[in-house]
Amino acid sequence: MQKNRVIQILVSILFVSLSANAQLVPVQKIAPFNIKLTNGQSYTANQMAKGPTVLIYFSPDCDHCVDFTEDLLKNYSVIANKQVVMVTFQDMKMLKPFVQKFKLSQYPNIKVGTEGNSFTVQRYYKIRSFPYIAIYDKNGNPVRTYEGVQSHAAIFNTLKNI
């Protein structure tokens, strides 16, 4: 009889623990961004087409962000069929040379812009280091996030599989 009571308590603890953990990881849709593109137009999360999406929060003067962008373009096939939204808080004076350096405007699936001082995206994801990469599947569900210096190969592998 005592053995059954111990099992009931353990099962209850396990159930409560699993329920608590499930609540700690909320399903997060893409940030409700509103960015200004280098051509002066606004672009928002509501304008995005359906499909796999990669949101990259970066700074044009971040060496890791520059390295990641170079590698991403060298491995363009992993994002060719995905929407890529690159967001920064930096001023357009810093953003335009970055976009020109990498010729990002020639890629129709890549949108690059600044959120300015709103910091909406930065607060939404609680970003602490760059680059921050949020990957979403074709239904808009989060797949994986990467923050700071990460293995580019691991990121590209995740991108290949969505």
- Is 17 inside a domain boundary? no
What's the burial of 95, exposed, middle or buried (CB within 10 Å: 0-12/13-18/19+)? buried
> How many other CB atoms are found less than 10 A from the CB of residue 7?
10
Domain membership flag for residue 12: no
Is the predicted pLDDT of residue 47 greater than 80, yes or no? yes
Q: Is residue 5 part of a domain?
A: no
Task: Note the maximum CA span of the chain.
Answer: 74
Within 13 A of 139's CA, how many CA atoms are on the CB side? Answer: 4
Q: What is the average pLDDT score of the chain?
A: 88
Domain annotation covers residue 115: yes
User: Which CATH number do you get for residue 35?
Assistant: 3.40.30.10
Q: What is the pTM of this model?
A: 0.83
pLDDT tens digit string along 87-96? Answer: 999 999 999 9
pLDDT band at residue 12 using 50, 70 and 90 as cut-offs: very low
Print the domain residue range for 97: 28-160
pLDDT at residue 24 is higher than 60: no
Please check whether residue 20 lies inside any domain of the structure: no
Residue 64 domain-assigned (yes or no): yes
